[in-house]
Amino acid sequence: MSGRGKGLLLGLIASALWASVFSAARYATAARGLDPILTAALRFGIGAVGAVVFLALSGHLGRLKDAACDLVPLSAIGAVGIFAMGLLVFISASLTSSINGALLLNSNAVFIAVFAIFAGERVPLLRFVGLIIGLAGCGVIVLGQTPPQELPVASNVLGSLAALGGAICWAAYTVAGKRYVRRHGGLVTSTITLIAGAVMLAIVAAARRPAFDLGLNEWLAVLWLGIFPTTIAMLMWYAALEYVDASVLGPTQYIAPPLATLLGWWLLGEPLSWSFALGAAAIVIAVWLATRPVGCGVENDDGKQDRAAPGRIDDTGTGYGNGWDRDGNG
C-alpha cells in the first residue's frame, strides 16, 4: 500500500471510531448526569495512560525524552486540541442534540483546509469543492433525522456554539501538529499532547469538585471514550499525518455522521430515511474529490512530500509558497 493509502486508511479508521463520541458523551453527561468537565478529564486521562502504555509496549517510550525540547509548543497544541476541544465537546453534548453536535463538529474539515493554506499547504480548488459537498452531505444526513427531544433555544444555541468552537480547536490541533509529527513521529507527538491536555482537564475538574459517583454503565461509557476514540483514534490520526497533508486527512472525518446513523439503526432501532442515502452518496463523492491526488505537489507513493511543489511544508515544518498554484487556482 502506498504511503498516501496508509495515511487515508488510518484517518478513516480514526474517524470511524470518532463516530461514537458524541452519542457516548451525551449519554454520560445528559442521560447519566455526569459533570461534562469531569467526563472530559476521565476520557483524556484514560486516553493519555493508554498512549503511554502503547509506547512502552512498542519500545518507543524513550522517544518521549527526545521530544522534551519541544515540550512547550506541544503542550500549547495539547491545550488547544485536547483541553479546549475536550471541554467544548462535552459541554456541547450536555446542551444540544447529538445530531446538531455531529454536524457542527464535522465542519472541522473546512477549517483544517483554511488553516492549512496559512501553514503553507497547497490546497487545490477541487479539494474545497469536495469539502463543501461533504459538509452538505453531513447536513442532509443529520437534519433528516428526528431529534430525540425538544431542547430549549438558549441551550441549543450555546451547545451549537460550543460544538463549532470544538471543530475550530481540532482543526488548529491537526494543522499545528504537522511539523512536530515530522520531527518526532505521530505516536510521540500525540502522546505528549494527550498528556498535556489531560493534566489541564484534571486540574480544572479537581478545582470544581464535582460529584464522583460512577456506576457500571457510566464507567463503561467513560472507558469506551478513553480507549477507542481517544487512545487508538488519536494515535492513528497523528500517525496518518506522517503520510498525508492535513487538508487531505481532514475530509476523512465526513464518514462519522453516516456511521453514527448506521449505529443508531443497528443498536437502537432508529429508522433510516431517504436523507441518509442521499447524504451518504454525497459524502462518498466528497471524500473521493477531496482526497484524490491532483497534479503536481501531491504525496509520492512512499508517503513523502514532493519538495518541489508550491505551498508544501519542508521537513523542518517551515512553510514555503502561498498555498495556491501559479495559475491562481487553489
* Per-residue three-class SS string for the chain: CCHHHHHHHHHHHHHHHHCCHHHHHHHHHHHCCCCHHHHHHHHHHHHHHHHHHHHHHCCCCCHHHHHHHHHHHHHHHHHHHHHHHHHHHHHHHHHCCHHHHHHHHCCHHHHHHHHHHHCCCCCCHHHHHHHHHHHHHHHHHHHCCCCCCCCCHHHHHHHHHHHHHHHHHHHHHHHHHHHHHHHHCHHHHHHHHHHHHHHHHHHHHHHHCCCCCCCHHHHHHHHHHHHHHHHHHHHHHHHHCCCCCHHHHHHHHHHHHHHHHHHHHHHHCCCCCHHHHHHHHHHHHHHHHHHCCCCCCCCCCCCCCCCCCCCCECCCCCECCCCCCCCCCC
The better pLDDT of the pair 152, 328 is held by: 152
Looking at residue 175, what is its pLDDT? 96
Q: What percent of the chain has pLDDT over 90?
A: 41
5-25 average pLDDT score = 89
In whole angstroms, how large is the CA radius of gyration of the chain?
A: 19
Residue 256 lies in a domain: yes
Nearest to 122 by CA among 300, 298, 3, 251: 298
Mean pLDDT comparison of 157-171, 221-235, 295-309, highest-scoring range:
221-235
pLDDT at 105: 80
Q: Considering the domain boundaries, does residue 304 fall inside one?
A: no
Residue 305 resides in a domain: no
Instruction: Let me know if residue 322 belongs to a domain.
Output: no
Of the given ranges (89-103, 158-172, 199-213), which has the lowest mean pLDDT? 89-103
If one counts the domains in the chain, the total is 1
Mean pLDDT of the chain: 81
Confidence tier at 99 by pLDDT (50, 70, 90): low
Q: Is the separation of the CB atoms in 160 and 27 below 8 Å?
A: no
Among 16-20, 184-188, 244-248, 324-328, the range scoring the smallest mean pLDDT is 324-328
In a domain, 184, yes or no: yes
C-alpha grid cell, residue 14: 480514526
Q: Render pLDDT for 46-73 as a digit per residue (tens, 0 to 9).
A: 999 999 999 999 998 999 999 999 999 9
> Residue 308: its pLDDT value, please?
33
Mean pLDDT for 67-90 is: 95
303 domain-assigned: no
> Which comes out higher in pLDDT, residue 314 or 194?
194
pLDDT at 301: 38
Determine the average pLDDT of the residues in 171-200.
96
Reported as a single tens digit per residue, the pLDDT across 259-300 is: 877 776 776 566 677 777 888 888 888 888 888 876 544 444
Q: Identify which of 17, 24, 58, 30 has the alpha carbon closest to the alpha carbon of residue 43.
A: 24
Contact 139, 280 (CB under 8 A): no
278 versus 197: the higher-pLDDT residue is 197
Of the candidates 177, 173, 166, 175, the one whose C-alpha atom is nearest the C-alpha of residue 114 is 175
Which domain, by its residues, includes 131? 3-291
Q: Quick check: 312 pLDDT over 60?
A: no
The answer on pLDDT for 89 being more than 80 is yes
Instruction: Tell me how far CA of residue 255 lies from CA of 16, 41, 76, 202, 302, in angstroms.
Output: 7, 26, 29, 31, 25
**Euclidean distance between CA atoms 115 and 24, whole angstroms:** 29
Residue 330 lies in a domain: no
The answer to whether residue 126 is domain-embedded is yes
pTM of structure: 0.80
